[in-house]
Structure 1
Amino acid sequence: MTTNNGNDITADETTAPAEGTETPVEITQETETTEMQKLEAEIAELKDKYLRLYADFENFRRRTAKEKLDLISTAGEDLMKAVLPVVDDFERAMASFETTTDIAPLKEGVGLIYTKFSKTLESRGLKPMVSKGETFDADLHESITQFPAPSDDLKGKVIDEVEKGYLLNDKVIRYAKVVVGS
Structure 2
Amino acid sequence: MKQKEKTKVEENDTAAEDAGQENLDTEQQNLNAQAEGEEEKTADAETADAEKAEEEDVPKGDKKAQELNDKLMRTIAEFDNFRKRSEKEKSAMFEIGAKAIIEKILPVLDNFERGLDSISEEEKGSAFAQGIEQIYKQFVTVLDDAGVKVIETVGKEFDPSLHNAVMHVEDDSLGENIIAEEFQKGYMYKESVVRHSMVKVAN
For the aligned pair, the TM-score class normalised by the smaller chain equals 0.5 to 0.7
Give 1:86's aligned residue: none
CA distance in 2, matches of 1:41, 1:156: 74
Partner residue of 1:53 out of 46, 60, 73: 73
Shift of 1:29: 5.2
Do 1:136 and 1:180's aligned partners in 2 also have CA atoms closer than 8 Å? yes
Aligned positions of 1:55-134 closer than 5 A? 55-57=75-77, 60=80, 105-134=127-156
In structure 2, the CA distance between the partners of 1:127 and 1:52, relative to structure 1 (3 Å rule), is: closer
Partner residue of 2:61 out of 37, 41, 48: 41
In structure 2, the CA distance between the partners of 1:74 and 1:181, relative to structure 1 (3 Å rule), is: closer
Secondary structure of the structure 2 residue equivalent to 1:108: helix
Partner residue of 2:199 out of 166, 175, 178: 178
Larger Rg: 2
Do 2:169 and 2:200's aligned partners in 1 also have CA atoms closer than 8 Å? no
Q: Does 1:166 align with 2:187?
A: yes
Partner residue of 1:21 out of 10, 24, 41: 41
Shift of 1:41: 1.5
Gaps of 5+ in 2: 1-34, 102-122
Partner residue of 1:156 out of 177, 184, 193: 177
Query: What is the alpha-carbon root mean square deviation over aligned residues?
Result: 4.4
Do 1:17 and 1:23's aligned partners in 2 also have CA atoms closer than 8 Å? no
Q: Which has the higher helix share?
A: 2
Secondary structure of the structure 1 residue equivalent to 2:173: helix
State the percentage of identical aligned residues: 21
Give 2:32's aligned residue: none
Shift of 1:115: 1.0
In structure 2, the CA distance between the partners of 1:52 and 1:179, relative to structure 1 (3 Å rule), is: same
CA distance in 2, matches of 1:50, 1:118: 54
Give 1:5's aligned residue: none
